[in-house]
Amino acid sequence: MGDQIMPAKDYAPIDQNWLEDAGNLWTTPWVDKPSERVIVDPIILSHAASLFRKNAGYFYQNPDEAIRMVCHACELYDVTPVGHYLYADYWGQDYGAEIKIQTNSPPGITKRPIKTAEDVDNFEVLDVDELTKGPTLTTHYKALDTCKEEFPHMFAPITQLGGTMEVATNWAAIEDVFMWMITEPELVDKLCVKAGDHMVNACKATSERYGANVMITGSVIASGDLMDTEQIKRFSFQPVSRAVRKVLNSGAGPGVYYHLCGNHTDDFQMWKNAPMSPFTIVQIGYDGQNIFPTSKLVEHFGDRCTCFGTVDTKLVDRGTPAQVYEQAKEQVLAGKDSPRGFILGTACECPTNAPPVNVHALVKAAKDHGKYEKF
Amino acid sequence: MDIKITEELDNTLKDNGFKKEEIQELIANAEASGTKLKARDGDIAIAKGVSDNLTVYAVYSPTELLDVYAHKMNIIGLTGGELNDIDYDDASEWACAKCGEIALERNVDMTYMGVTRPGPGLVCPKCDEFYVSDGVAKTLKTAESILEEKRA
């Protein structure tokens, strides 16, 4: 069964009553429509494959099946009914990078197109049409089209961007970019401007195809573990903000998801003023070595946008169900009545081989302790 | 001020339920009061008219109406309540015609169907006037449709 294709007919039908209920829970954080409790989004990607005895390599090579597996995993766990397909190393291939499919982890770039400072100067961002026909969006849209056709109520027109540093380090080796940050910071400025322009075009492509766009952006490599606050401001916050502004000014919204993965103790405050649309969500992974407290997230962002409280991904991967439940309980109690909506989830993607009982414990905490009091 | 409206734009106005006279009045009011945005580079202006359920914008040159757009979400003020310093260049391509200040690109709170959320606005830091660009109006239209569907 490991490598055998599972076409659509091999899946049991999605329970429409569940879908309606989950859809109502999912709607609440965005439009304040009352429902019973907080929804959970464990950011299920290749973890779904493990539920079907497939591996990450299989998941990413078969985007249509990946979406089916994710949608059915959403039903199994009773979580956010949205079909996701994406991975971190997007956008390299479109510019000549080589990508390696890996059995137990997402695809990784092996050869990047930018190797020298001259390459940065000569690098040209692809236009909307070129990106639409490129390998990243061809695969991505295969997944989204499958979702739209087979699971229309679980469809969201998501564009996976990362921030400017994430795009930049998919074009040039991270060690080169970090060296240039010290020796030739203006070169990294140029690279980040180009990454921002690329992000705008990618969002326009999705918006043109589906009539709306939800961009996943933020700051992952640009976190306090790898960069200082001034570097994060210069190479991530500022160019990302400019890009998001351009996207919204071009009508290619309305969804903005700021995924601030890693440690953001020293820079999270600046993101309070990042450009926001009516459907903006902010998720912050860690405060130093600890999970970012939802109480702090709500204190700083709760009167601005929807907050995404997190449970430590390491705990979901290697902890006990009781540990996951306790942390999820603490986070959901602190966030559930956040003024502009709250979602409980994981700090980053649900690990591929996370024990299903741990994901269940996360959801159980929301069911037991996430009942709204504000409505 | 005698503003020319092309036949094409006139048809667009009709298709979108705008009356030519209302747009002309909106521009006349902006010209009289000075409450409008002026392009920092050029002679294009944006006038706005706010009613209970619609904010209408007219983009015009000294001689011609160039564009009209609108949103239903009602801007109620700055997100976070105050105009704090921020860490990126927020100067827009527009300036307030009344006070001359450069309009800033800032998040503003918008409310519609009982829901208040942020959106990207153009803000005069002195006059407390808020505008949105035509592109943002498109984004807001999508947001309004979602709210209408989900809040119904």
Contacts of residue B106 in chain A, CB cutoff 8 Å?
Answer: 273
Q: Report the percentage of chain A scoring pLDDT > 90.
A: 98
The predicted model gives B86-91 an average pLDDT of: 88
The predicted model gives B22-43 an average pLDDT of: 96
Among the partner-chain residues B110, B116, B150, the one whose CB lies closest to the CB of A27 is: B150
Nearest residue of B to residue A240, measured between CA atoms: B88
The nearest CA of chain B is from the CA of A191 a distance in Å of 17
Long-range contacts of A143-150 (CB under 8 A, 24+ apart): A143/A63, A143/A64, A143/A66, A143/A67, A143/A83, A143/A85, A144/A67, A144/A83, A144/A85, A144/A210, A146/A63, A146/A64, A146/A67, A146/A68, A146/A83, A147/A67, A147/A71, A147/A83, A147/A85, A148/A210, A150/A8, A150/A67, A150/A68, A150/A71
Rounded to two decimals, the pTM is 0.97
CA distance A47 to A155: 19
Contacts of residue B107 in chain A, CB cutoff 8 Å?
Answer: 273, 275-276, 304
State the best of B79, B142, B146, B147 to mutate against chain A, taking most chain A CBs within 10 Å: B142
pLDDT for the residue numbered B84: 86
Structure tokens at A278: 């009516």
Nearest residue of A to residue B133, measured between CA atoms: A249
The nearest CA of chain B is from the CA of A182 a distance in Å of 21
Q: Do B151 and A279 touch (CB under 8 A)?
A: no
Nearest residue of B to residue A302, measured between CA atoms: B80
HEC sequence for A265-324: CCCHHHHHHCCCCCEEEEEEEEECCEECCHHHHHHHHCCCCEEEEEECHHHHHHCCHHHH
Q: Report the percentage of chain B scoring pLDDT > 90.
A: 88
The nearest CA of chain A is from the CA of B3 a distance in Å of 26
The nearest CA of chain B is from the CA of A327 a distance in Å of 29
The nearest CA of chain A is from the CA of B98 a distance in Å of 24
How many other CB atoms sit within 10 Å of the CB of residue A374? 10
Q: Do A238 and B87 touch (CB under 8 A)?
A: yes
Contacts of residue B113 in chain A, CB cutoff 8 Å?
Answer: 31
pLDDT in single tens digits along all 375 residues of chain A? 456 678 899 999 999 999 999 999 999 999 999 999 999 999 999 999 999 999 999 999 999 999 999 999 999 999 999 999 999 999 999 999 999 999 999 999 999 999 999 999 999 999 999 999 999 999 999 999 999 999 999 999 999 999 999 999 999 999 999 999 999 999 999 999 999 999 999 999 999 999 999 999 998 999 999 999 999 999 999 999 999 999 999 999 999 999 999 999 999 999 999 999 999 999 999 999 999 999 999 999 999 999 999 999 999 999 999 999 999 999 999 999 999 999 999 999 999 999 999 999 999 999 999 999 999
The nearest CA of chain B is from the CA of A97 a distance in Å of 31
The one-character DSSP state at B101 is P
Contacts of residue A277 in chain B, CB cutoff 8 Å?
Answer: 117-120, 139, 143
How many other CB atoms sit within 10 Å of the CB of residue A3? 8
ipTM: 0.95
Helix, strand, coil content of chain A in percent (nearest 5): 50, 15, 35
pLDDT for the residue numbered B86: 86
Nearest residue of B to residue A303, measured between CA atoms: B80
Residues of B with CB under 8 A from a CB of A: 73, 79-80, 84, 86-89, 105-107, 110, 113-120, 133, 135-140, 142-143, 146-147, 150-151
pLDDT for the residue numbered A1: 46
Structure tokens at A221: 């490599």
Q: Residue B88's pLDDT band (boundaries 50, 70, 90)?
A: confident
Q: Do A31 and B115 touch (CB under 8 A)?
A: yes
B102-112 and B130-131: which strand pairing?
A: unpaired
Among the partner-chain residues A237, A250, A254, the one whose CB lies closest to the CB of B142 is: A254
Is the pLDDT score of B2 beyond 80? no
Q: Do A248 and B80 touch (CB under 8 A)?
A: no
